[in-house]
Amino acid sequence: MKKRDKRAQIVIIENGQYVLLKQHYKKENHFFWVLPGGGKEDEETIEEAAIREAKEETGLDIKLLPFIYEFSLGDKDRLYNKKVTLVGYPIQGDVKLGYDSEEDRRLWFNLVDIKWHPIKDIENIDAITRQDVLPVKSYLENNDFVKRAGTLVYKEEAGKVKYLLVSMRHHPNKYTIPQGHVEKNETYIETAIRETKEEGGVLTEIEKDLGYFFYENKEKIYQTYIYLGKFIKKVMPIESRDVKWLSFEETLALDIPKEARRFLTEINQEMRD
């Protein structure tokens, strides 16, 4: 098998989770979970290789964040001299099991499964993957991105779970989870509760941290933390937003950002289970 200089591997992060691929090592009939990635081609930059590998193996188009971590493997690895870990977030596509573009590797390995795994959980992963993810976890927790927070609020009405959505300020025909910028001396939870009151006219009790997602606008990177909250009571809103309480099935007819859609889908599944 051809040995390549660098393996470009990607932590693709959304909603506080990242993508892992299950590989089958045919010779030893061994299965293990790894980050998406593969060998850098001669004509590629490491960033171009990461974006290509993400698309081939996960079906996702990604945008890279300003992080790169290089680790020398030396002679102990039969495939690569170095591993280079990058971080990105999805901008288009749905996650799906793809393919390994390196033909010689396919003689030894198969991709057999794909999943989202919580970035906070560093115990229930393979040791090598844990080593790769730890620097990324630290970076994601200690950065200077613009911080935002919001709440996915639910309530039960006539035996059915309904979710709170509000119209977006600059796109009134689109709907999303109430959210906004973290103010000075506020915690993320305090921001989430305040923004829900101001935008949705709802007081909520926070129950769960659902994770965070990224987006970029005017050369700024925004990191938005979302919490699950239970409806307590109505209050007077400050902002003029169209407010809707909808079942999950009813939300499917709305134009909703992809990350909000995934939060709704995952929570709706939990509620049913």
On whether the 146-272 domain is CATH 3.90.400.10, my answer is: no
Same fold, 4-141 and 146-272: yes
Q: What is the pLDDT of residue 77?
A: 60
CA distances from 59 to 52, 54, 147 (A): 10, 7, 28
Q: Report the chain (273 residues): mean pLDDT per 10 consecutive residues.
A: 80 94 85 92 93 96 95 73 94 90 70 94 91 93 94 93 94 94 96 97 96 91 97 94 95 93 93 81
In this structure, which CATH number among 3.40.50.720, 3.40.50.10330, 3.90.79.10, 3.40.640.10 belongs to the domain 4-141?
3.90.79.10
The whole-number pLDDT of residue 46 equals 96
Distance CA(33)–CA(51), nearest Å, equals 20
Give the predicted TM-score (pTM) of the model. 0.87
Residue 268 gets which letter from DSSP? H
Which sequence spans correspond to the domains of the chain? 4-141, 146-272
Give the position of tokens 């098998």: 1
